[in-house]
Amino acid sequence: MSEKWKTAITKVEPNKLLIRGYRLDELMGRLSFAEVVYLILKGELPPPAVAQVLNAILVSSIDHGATPPSTLAARTVASTGASLNASLAAGVLSINRHHGGAIENCMQVLKEAVEQKRDGGLTAGEAAASLVKFRRQKGLKLPGYGHRVHTNDPRTAKLFSIAREAGVAGEFVEMAQAIQEAFARETGKELPINVDGAIAALLCEMDFPVELANAVFIIARIPGLTAHVYEEMTTQKPMRIISPADHQYDGPAERKLWRINSPER
Amino acid sequence: MSEKWKTAITKVEPNKLLIRGYRLDELMGRLSFAEVVYLILKGELPPPAVAQVLNAILVSSIDHGATPPSTLAARTVASTGASLNASLAAGVLSINRHHGGAIENCMQVLKEAVEQKRDGGLTAGEAAASLVKFRRQKGLKLPGYGHRVHTNDPRTAKLFSIAREAGVAGEFVEMAQAIQEAFARETGKELPINVDGAIAALLCEMDFPVELANAVFIIARIPGLTAHVYEEMTTQKPMRIISPADHQYDGPAERKLWRINSPER
Amino acid sequence: MSEKWKTAITKVEPNKLLIRGYRLDELMGRLSFAEVVYLILKGELPPPAVAQVLNAILVSSIDHGATPPSTLAARTVASTGASLNASLAAGVLSINRHHGGAIENCMQVLKEAVEQKRDGGLTAGEAAASLVKFRRQKGLKLPGYGHRVHTNDPRTAKLFSIAREAGVAGEFVEMAQAIQEAFARETGKELPINVDGAIAALLCEMDFPVELANAVFIIARIPGLTAHVYEEMTTQKPMRIISPADHQYDGPAERKLWRINSPER
Amino acid sequence: MSEKWKTAITKVEPNKLLIRGYRLDELMGRLSFAEVVYLILKGELPPPAVAQVLNAILVSSIDHGATPPSTLAARTVASTGASLNASLAAGVLSINRHHGGAIENCMQVLKEAVEQKRDGGLTAGEAAASLVKFRRQKGLKLPGYGHRVHTNDPRTAKLFSIAREAGVAGEFVEMAQAIQEAFARETGKELPINVDGAIAALLCEMDFPVELANAVFIIARIPGLTAHVYEEMTTQKPMRIISPADHQYDGPAERKLWRINSPER
């Protein structure tokens, strides 16, 4: 009834494990987790500069407070007495088309725009202007632009500056910005690139399949969800009614990060 | 009906995000993902040596081929046409008491043994011998010892050597090994520490709450599950009958990792 | 690596299906869904009176409005653009120790009390009084008693009256009420049996394993969760912030059920 | 930040619950679970004949042995030590486009065909022939037709005969059969309507929204999944490797259902 099936990810032999051809015990201690994430998803090791950008992407999305639906779903499930992993699963189920999904949709928009630019021999500005006009006519949103809390998302600027320093920023980053400018010219309104849009541009630069965009966000967000679930379990009463807007931060006040930037990271 | 509730993880203000008091945009580019994982779970930044050990733990658990139940559950759900995140959720639901859960159970055993050593003024060997005797009398297993595939798990040795170099190995690592020796003396049989046991010892050294052991494994394994789900979606037929034993590795042959160990990682 | 394993639920042959030995096509049209639920869970068909009680239990738990955590979790996940089944899965993950779980815990309490009554040759009142005293001394709650909305839950009275008419009410129902009375005598306070407690007593009468209590609640609640998820998908905006307390009923006003009680149901 | 939102399903007041306007305690004991399922999903009570058909649909899909992916996913998760509800959630995550999803797809096909028949003033046979030709030209499958185990699914015939007796079979059932005949004429091959196709036709007759097709299947299958998870937990070793093909039925032998058909059911 079943057939011999193939897998190209991990070879398991007694006392030997290969991840995409590399011995797992050789990867340990020599590569950061982000580098091995890249390896397992893409099949090859990243150049150090690319690893640095992926690290920054993962850090940028680790948490966004108590109001995102993934956090609320995970906390709600935790409050019923669910185990930690079941609570995380509910969080993962919430990372979808409308939450985190803007990364995938923005990647598609950027890929189309860059293709149009290349095929039509256009400048980035021309391709962006044509895309903005087309989407406005069709009543389509611009995924990866605008944010309900941040008008000038600090994560966006930082991601782009890290990518530029690392030499990873190319025509997708250029296009992401050209679209923002085209939108402002067309409408007279600012609709800044948000963190999803910035990540989308960088995943395009790194040639990630669009189908993995959501997974990158999930990988990044699981630790944040874990912190929320653990906090819920250890500091809150079971079965409380969780009012999303009605909470207060009582963690450490702002503190300075003294540590020096190490180029390998 | 609802009360003002508190959270100490992330402060969200317009254009400003603090993770445990640190500006998220300052963490980006300066810290590896593993360091920020440590920060968000434990509330403080890790010393560089500790970050290196956590990186190695996460890398060690990124995947173990196609047969673990979390992988089979995720692939089975994916084969029905589920979205990537729903497939990952099924994988997360499988990381439990019997799969990944040995880390938590082994942490508890090691903590008890070290406490007994301290309180009773015993040597590690004496505490270990007493624990092994007790558990054998009660018919209790030793979680974190033995493996159905590996007799000499390469990940265990590597984790301990990284921890020793980093100065992180202390009395929990000592106890983990004393238990292995006590078991061999008591029974004449080898029951080597497996990767779960090694991770357990290191999480004890880093003073992680036992309740987070499972989450560390989930954080590490999500990228591996993603690779499997994506492979299932892109290379296999929907609704196939997935026979766990009946697969073959067809990825790259063993290849050499040339890259030099960089001390910061 | 794998062994031949056994299953006693359903026999599948070409053009023939047996559920616990009965041809599925013979069950269809002759038995109600609740009767076949009983068959598949317990291995035997229920007498008609028992089927009537199980039908009433399932009806009693079909929904409880928008505030239970399972409903909020399912709606939250749905609002992110998840599919219907993924939203339901999040709801199912919320039916746990603290939500629905009182049925299981109350079954255990009732079983202990009835056992004590039988073994000690006590009256129900004596066993109940001793149980209430013991739990109050230990600071243990009485699962299945009290409700945050209802002081006199209409579902409880109805379940007990249906069970009495059907001849299903026996010493577990007697004990459930003896405990309520013992509590009132002991404390001077009313802590009425809630719907979970009533279901617990009836599942004990029907000799259901306690481990299936949660499943009975899930079977009953899935249609309610479905209605909520579908309403969320068709009438609400994606990614809205769902404030649990802040909703209003706008469905049909109270209407009369004219239909005559048919004894077979 | 949040708005007053509306829900039309259940009104919860102290000591009073209305489901779509009916008092829940009045529904209990007077209506079967399937009738209240219909009420909560569609907003109105079904006529008795319709209730009978819905009961038969739910019974028909309660289980299909150990090999469907939802069963395997639920058992796999259960074998890791997951709780019953988490195991069921994994099963629910597997009921999707390719598993159970044929009901939804077949409903769409039947609706299109019936619309074409009505709009074009065609006979069922003409509309069916045109649809079969079109789909074969486009390389599209016929969802709801053919089965990998059954050539003459006993559930299909029974569902249609129950629906005919109940007066529920109308132009969708006619179309479902016209398509089977058109396919045979066109290709010379038999591709019989399977249980999904029969359910699809009946849900169309009952005017169910296509978006709820999957939910009807989930409602029906949860008890079967529960039986499998409970069997896994009570009779199998944890972390066993579950080989889908390698199992044997060891339940009761075929037995006769003596009970007389009661018209109210």
Tell me the pLDDT tens digit for each residue of D131-188.
999 999 999 999 999 987 888 889 999 999 999 999 999 999 999 999 999 999 999 9
Alpha-carbon distance C22 to B264, whole Å?
Answer: 67
Model pLDDT for residues B27-37, shown as the tens digit of each residue = 999 999 999 99
What pLDDT does residue C209 have? 97
- D28 residue type, one letter: M
| Nearest-CB residue to C2 (from B85, B86, B245) | B245
What pLDDT does residue C259 have? 61
Which 8-state DSSP code applies to residue A212?
A: G
Model pLDDT for residues A122-158, shown as the tens digit of each residue = 999 999 999 999 999 999 999 999 987 888 889 999 9
Please list the pLDDT of chain C residue by residue as tens digits (265 residues).
Answer: 445 899 999 999 999 999 999 999 999 999 999 999 999 999 999 999 999 999 999 999 999 999 999 999 999 999 999 999 999 999 999 999 888 889 999 999 999 999 999 999 999 999 999 999 999 999 999 999 998 788 888 999 999 999 999 999 999 999 999 999 999 999 999 999 999 999 999 999 999 999 999 999 999 999 999 999 999 999 999 989 898 888 999 999 999 997 654 444 4
The set of chains that have 3 or more CB pairs under 8 A with D is A, B, C
User: Of B165, B159, B164, B143, whose CA–CA distance to B210 is shortest?
Assistant: B143
What pLDDT does residue A147 have? 81
Tell me which chain C residue has its CA closest to the CA of residue B246: C1
Tell me which chain D residue has its CA closest to the CA of residue B74: D73
Tell me which chain C residue has its CA closest to the CA of residue A67: C241
- State the maximum Cα–Cα separation within chain B, in Å, rounded to a whole number: 64
**Is there a contact between D55 and C65 if contact means CB atoms under 8 Å apart?**
no
- B197 residue type, one letter: G
Number of CB pairs < 8 Å for B and C?
21
| Nearest-CB residue to B244 (from C2, C82, C83) | C2
Model pLDDT for residues D59-88, shown as the tens digit of each residue = 999 999 999 999 999 999 999 999 999 999
Show residues of chain C in contact with B85, CB under 8 Å: 86
User: What's chain A's Rg over C-alpha atoms?
Assistant: 21
The mean predicted confidence, pLDDT, of chain D is 93
Parallel, antiparallel or unpaired: strands A16-19 and A10-13: antiparallel
Q: Do D153 and D147 meet the contact criterion of CB atoms below 8 Å apart?
A: yes
What strands lie across the sheet with C10-13, from one edge to the other?
A: C10-13, C16-19, C22-23
- pLDDT exceeds 60 at position D265: no
**Is there a contact between B230 and A222 if contact means CB atoms under 8 Å apart?**
no
The number of helices, as runs of H, and strands, as runs of E, in chain A is 11, 5
Percent of chain B surpassing pLDDT 90: 87
- pLDDT exceeds 70 at position B262: no
Element (H, E) at B10: strand B10-13
What pLDDT does residue C110 have? 98
Q: Distance of CA B246 to CAs A5, A6, B225, D187, Å? A: 7, 9, 19, 36
Number of CB pairs < 8 Å for A and D?
21
Q: Average pLDDT in the D195-216 region?
A: 97
Show residues of chain D in contact with A2, CB under 8 Å: 244-245
Residues 6+ apart with CB under 8 A from C95: A80, C70, C101, C214, C217, C218, C221, D85
Model pLDDT for residues C27-54, shown as the tens digit of each residue = 999 999 999 999 999 999 999 999 999 9
Show residues of chain D in contact with C155, CB under 8 Å: 17, 24-25, 28
**Is there a contact between A153 and B65 if contact means CB atoms under 8 Å apart?**
no
pTM score, whole prediction: 0.94
Residue with tokens 């296999």: B236
Model pLDDT for residues B201-210, shown as the tens digit of each residue = 999 999 999 9
User: Of A102, A99, A117, A110, whose CA–CA distance to A204 is shortest?
Assistant: A110
pLDDT band at D264 (very low <50, low <70, confident <90, very high): very low
Query: What tokens appear for B192 in the block?
Result: 């080597």
The mean predicted confidence, pLDDT, of chain A is 93
User: Of C83, C82, C81, C86, whose CA–CA distance to C238 is shortest?
Assistant: C81
- SS3 of C90, please? helix
| Nearest-CB residue to B1 (from C2, C89, C245) | C245
Tell me which chain C residue has its CA closest to the CA of residue D21: C254
Q: Average pLDDT in the D111-125 region?
A: 97
Nearest CA to CA, how far is C230 from chain A (Å)?
16
Residues 6+ apart with CB under 8 A from B132: B142, B179, B182, B183, B186
Model pLDDT for residues B118-143, shown as the tens digit of each residue = 999 999 999 999 999 999 999 999 99
Nearest CA to CA, how far is A144 from chain C (Å)?
15
What number of other Cβ atoms are within 10 A of residue D126's Cβ? Answer: 15
What pLDDT does residue C1 have? 42
User: Of C53, C265, C42, whose CA–CA distance to C167 is shortest?
Assistant: C53
Work out whether the CA dihedral B200, B202, B207, B213 comes out positive or negative: negative
Show residues of chain A in contact with D2, CB under 8 Å: 244-245
- pLDDT exceeds 70 at position B170: yes
What pLDDT does residue D2 have? 45
Which 8-state DSSP code applies to residue D94?
A: T
Q: Do B2 and C244 meet the contact criterion of CB atoms below 8 Å apart?
A: yes
Q: Do D209 and D42 meet the contact criterion of CB atoms below 8 Å apart?
A: no
Alpha-carbon distance B206 to B37, whole Å?
Answer: 13
What pLDDT does residue C241 have? 86
